[in-house]
Amino acid sequence: MLSRLVHLESWHGTLTGFKVENGLDGNVSERGDGYEMVIRGLSVDQLIKVAGFIKQL
């Protein structure tokens, strides 16, 4: 399902890495209480949008 949204890559020590056409990248790791997502390359505006999205989940 995730691969329909972003390009997945193999990253050592993670469930998967990802790259997006807009230049963002990161990784997803599985934790005991769920998943952890790291996003690299966000601008301040993108960070605010992501925080707003997370608040709505």
Taking the model in full, what pTM does it have? 0.81
Task: Indicate whether 37 pLDDT > 90.
Answer: yes
Tens of pLDDT, residue by residue over 2-20, are: 889 899 988 888 999 999 9
Q: What is the pLDDT of residue 11?
A: 81
Round to whole Å and give the CA distance between 31 and 3.
20
Q: Are 19 and 6 in contact (CB under 8 A)?
A: yes
Round to whole Å and give the CA distance between 17 and 28.
6
CA nearest neighbour of 6 among 37, 21, 23, 29: 21
